[in-house]
Amino acid sequence: MRPQPAPPGHPARLWEGLLLWVAWVLLALASVVFAVRLATGATTFEPWRALTALTLVGASAALIYWGHTCPTMRGEQPRPNAVGYFFTLLVLGSSLVLLDDSFVVFLITGFFHAHILASWRAGLFGIFVTSFVINGIPLLGRPTISTQDVAFAGMIILVQTAAIGAGLVITLQAVKAEEKRDELVARLQAALDENAGLHAQLVVQAREAGVHDERGRLAREIHDTIAQGLAGVITQLHAAQGARDPQDSTARVESALLLAKSSLDEARRSVKALQPRELGHAQLPEALRTLAATWQETNGVPVHVEITGEPVTLSPALDVSLFRVSQEALTNVAKHAQASRVALTLSYGDQDVLLDIRDDGRGMHGPTNGFGLTSMRQRVRGIGGDLAIESELGEGTAISASVPVLTATAEVAS
């Protein structure tokens, strides 16, 4: 993955900006100094000199634009023909210096643009050549060159090469390390985004699987109760029609009525089970408080309800599942626990919602795989969550359900 461009003010951006504009600034500065010297008579005005300088300045500007500025703005690394560009730049700069010493400022560009060469060793050599040209050309204009002059110039060349080269190497390494860090951060962010997308997708798939399981459960329940009851009603009515004894016919009709009433009760119970009435006009926290208050009044056992975190509007599937888990857990407490107090805690987190129901009852011993507990596990797993049960004899029971946050808005969007 290609890293995103560094933000303004980033060290890499400052370094790139310096390398991009330093040649233009130095060329313009040298040209202005040369023009001022011509205008003030500090240097002899000769038409051929001015025309040659203008031509070389134009050639240098064209070289910088096509050889450095354009490739840099296109992000080409390494730049094409870097060696040819660099040494052509030195030749043009040297020619300008031979015309007038003012242009020695422009030759400093070589120290900055040596970084475009193939490696840091080549860049170090480019710095050495630049320093050699800057310090060697002034010697050519002297009538005589002493050994001391050569030694002094050589010392300056070595010091410049060592100092600027070390700075170049350190700077390039720092920029390279910064680019690697930015690339790593970009990859990590992409991985986090991808994982978040996969997590949301898994939650949706788990919810759809839960819906499918719930439909299957309802189908089995309808088949085993209502459908069989109606079949029995039909059988009894057919028998009543064919009965010759009035008492037998009346008995058959009464039996059919009893089956019909039983089937109607089963139908009402199934419809009621689809959506708890407590959730009809309230959010989950209020529904749990209502459930706890009703249970406490019925069973005479105090229930402490605590809501932590910032409540959010969850998907109806999550609300119903968590409510049913609470309902089943409290039912089990009433039937088996012989508890003196119960605590119900609903905790909202950034990624998960946690539901804890704890009692101080007699606890359980052995496997916790009764029908009610198995139903709770299946219900929670159907929405992508997890259910944990902890219980010891005499230590009470703790049921903890953890489900991923899926809001109603996210469910509609999916």
With a pLDDT cut of 90, the percent of the chain lying above it is: 17
CA distances in angstroms from 59 to 27, 29, 55, 63, 66, listed in the order given = 11, 16, 6, 6, 11
At 35, list the tokens: 């023009």
For the chain, percent of residues with pLDDT exceeding 70: 82
pLDDT at position 2, please?
A: 41
Is the pLDDT score of 1 beyond 60? no
Q: pLDDT category, 304, cuts 50, 70, 90?
A: very high
What backbone phi and psi angles, to 5 degrees, belong to 243? -75, 140
Tens-place pLDDT, residues 188-227 = 888 888 887 787 777 777 667 766 776 766 666 676 567 7
Segment 9-16 mean pLDDT = 62
Considering 34-38, 216-220, 227-231, 277-281, the range whose residues carry the highest mean pLDDT is 34-38
For the chain, give the secondary structure using H, E and C: CCCCCCCCCCHHHHHHHHHHHHHHHHHHHHHHHHHHHHHHCCCCCCHHHHHHHHHHHHHHHHHHHHHHHHHHHHCCCCCCCHHHHHHHHHHHHHHHHHHCHHHHHHHCHHHHHHHHCCCHHHHHHHHHHHHHHHHHHHHHCCCCCCHHHHHHHHHHHHHHHHHHHHHHHHHHHHHHHHHHHHHHHHHHHHHHHHHHHHHHHHHHHHHHHHHHHHHHHHHHHHHHHHHHHHHHHHHHHHHHHHCCCHHHHHHHHHHHHHHHHHHHHHHHHHHHHHCCHHHCCCCHHHHHHHHHHHHHHHHCCCEEEEEECCCCCECHHHHHHHHHHHHHHHHHHHHHHCCCCEEEEEEECCCEEEEEEEECCCCCCCCCCCHHHHHHHHHHHCCCCEEEEEEECCCEEEEEEEEECCEHHHHHHC
Across 170-179, 182-191, 224-233, 270-279, least confident range: 270-279
335, amino acid identity: K
Strands 386-392 and 303-308: unpaired
pLDDT at 167: 72
Residue 113 has pLDDT above 50, yes or no: yes
pLDDT winner (highest mean) among 96-110, 239-253, 259-273: 96-110
Give the pLDDT score at 44. 73
Q: Is the pLDDT of residue 3 over 60?
A: no
Residue-wise pLDDT tens digits, 380-399: 888 888 999 998 888 899 99
Task: Tell me the backbone φ, ψ of residue 191, rounded to 5 degrees.
Answer: -65, -40
pLDDT given for residue 60 in this prediction: 92
Whether the CB-CB separation of 378 and 287 falls below 8 Å is answered with no
Q: Does residue 265 have a pLDDT over 50?
A: yes
pLDDT at 187 over 90: no
In terms of Cα–Cα distance, which of 84, 97, 24 is closest to 56? 97
With a cut of 70, say whether residue 403 has pLDDT above it. yes
Residue 401 clears pLDDT 90, i.e. is over it: yes
Q: Which of 18-22, 162-166, 378-382 is least confident?
A: 162-166
The mean pLDDT of the chain is 80
Q: Among the listed ranges 59-73, 193-207, 286-300, 377-391, which one has the minimum average pLDDT value?
A: 193-207
